[in-house]
A and B are shown apart, each in its own frame.
Chain A
Amino acid sequence: SQQGEEDPQALSIQEGENATMNCSYKTSINNLQWYRQNSGRGLVHLILIRSNEREKHSGRLRVTLDTSKKSSSLLITASRAADTASYFCATDPHSGNTPLVFGKGTRLSVIA
């Protein structure tokens, strides 16, 4: 059951630009997480934002959460070629002890 839906599906930007990816979900959540996946590899956890938080920062990453709109955004500032990867949001449903639900991902290409 896919809950998170990332937008856009693919994004191509120049090095140094900012990249914004969005995630929408359907049900109430405990938290929302963002993961990164380099081509052909496993996912790596980037950041977790709780349902009572609105914004969180980690280095060049900024995540916002709007529970009223059931949406989140991931901003990568001053992007680098090494940021080229797929980015996934994952939601922790507020419906008992169930696993994270991952979206389909946004494919980011940063061109040097």
Chain B
Amino acid sequence: DVKVTQSSRYLVKRTGEKVFLECVQDMDHENMFWYRQDPGLGLRLIYFSYDVKMKEKGDIPEGYSVSREKKERFSLILESASTNQTSMYLCASSALLAGDNNEQFFGPGTRLTVL
């Protein structure tokens, strides 16, 4: 059974803390994605990666960075967490970025609260 796992389901951090969200996939997918999801705003793409050590900004990269040192792992980093980064964070992976069979497989999400 294919799987995308995220390191935490719930996380509470303080303003100014450095936060790491980890995502691991076991499908040997080239592409990995980080989204945040807020009520009324849907899914917004933060960053994606199409290969090891490669990354591309999504729609809302400000305040975030990412790391992809191994194919199966994609980390989202909040350098200095702020209250407006309280959100649900979803990780996904896909074999292809575009074209047929580019469906994404999602992890269960991490609900981050920044106090």
Contact = CB atoms under 8 A, between A and B. Distances in A.
B106 A43 contact: yes
A102 B43 contact: yes
B103 interface: yes
Interface string B80-115: 000000001010100001111111111111010000
Contacts of B42: 2, 88, 102-105
A107 to B, nearest CB: 10
Given A41-B109, A102-B43, A104-B42, A50 B104 contact: no
Interface string A37-68: 00011111100101000000000000000000
* Range of interface residues on A (Cβ < 8 Å): 20 to 34
Interface in A57-109: 88, 90, 92-93, 96-100, 102-105
Contacts of B97: 97-99
A104 B103 contact: no
A32 to B, nearest CB: 11
Nearest to B50: A97
A100 B102 contact: yes
Interface string B17-44: 0000000000000010101000011110
B93 to A, nearest CB: 11
A100 B42 CA distance: 13
A20 interface: no
B54 to A, nearest CB: 12
Contacts of A90: 104
Given A41-B108, A99-B97, A103-B42, 14 more contacts: A30-B98, A30-B100, A31-B99, A31-B102, A40-B111, A42-B106, A43-B90, A44-B106, A88-B43, A98-B98, A99-B48, A102-B42, A102-B43, A104-B41
Closest 4 pairs between A and B when the two form their complex, measured CB to CB: A42-B106, A104-B42, A102-B43, A45-B103
14 contacts: A30-B98, A40-B111, A41-B109, A42-B90, A42-B106, A42-B107, A42-B108, A42-B109, A45-B104, A90-B104, A97-B97, A99-B33, A100-B102, A102-B43
